[in-house]
Amino acid sequence: MSSVRVCALGDLDEDIPFVAQVDGVDIAVVLTQGSVYAIRNECSHADVALSDGEVDDCHLECWMHGSRFNLKTGEPDSLPATQAVDVYAVEIQADDVLVDVASRPSIFPTIPTGSEG
């Protein structure tokens, strides 16, 4: 698999998850603190969409039970979730946001100030 365009950079609003599907995987793409992240859009504790939760301090909180998942690692930092969710490599090319669900991120693309949607 390779990177797939999921949206334009201008489609992303700060701290509001953008839902997309790549190769059959539901993901949430999040612009926060000047970087873009992609995380599996399913809580590891309950079968609910993480994108319905809130973004805070580079975490995405599950709306149902309050578990918070680190957008960089997918690791939960609060109960009841104890298992990580997958995070994916993100690439910015011009105004396109690309995600590769076969690759874990090694860097997180930063957005130049003034370029956010």
The answer to whether the pTM exceeds 0.75 is yes
- Distance between CA atoms of 60 and 69, rounded to whole angstroms? 5
Domain segments of the chain: what residues? Answer: 4-100
What is the share, in percent, of the chain residues with pLDDT greater than 90?
83
**Pair of tokens at residue 57:** 């301090």
- Distance between CA atoms of 51 and 112, rounded to whole angstroms? 24
Per CATH, is 4-100 categorized as 2.102.10.10? yes
Instruction: Kindly report, residue by residue over 90-106, the tens digit of the pLDDT.
Output: 999 999 999 999 988 77
CA-based nearest residue to 38, from 112, 79, 97: 97
- Distance between CA atoms of 84 and 92, rounded to whole angstroms? 25
Secondary-structure breakdown of the chain: helix, strand, coil percentages, each rounded to the nearest 5: 5, 40, 55
Q: How confident is the model at residue 111 (pLDDT cuts 50, 70, 90)?
A: confident
- Distance between CA atoms of 75 and 82, rounded to whole angstroms? 8
Q: Which long-range contacts (CB under 8 A, 24 or more apart) does 109-112 make?
A: 109/35, 109/36, 110/34, 110/35, 111/9, 111/31, 111/34, 111/35, 111/36
Instruction: Kindly report, residue by residue over 1-38, the tens digit of the pLDDT.
Output: 589 999 999 999 999 999 999 999 999 999 999 999 99
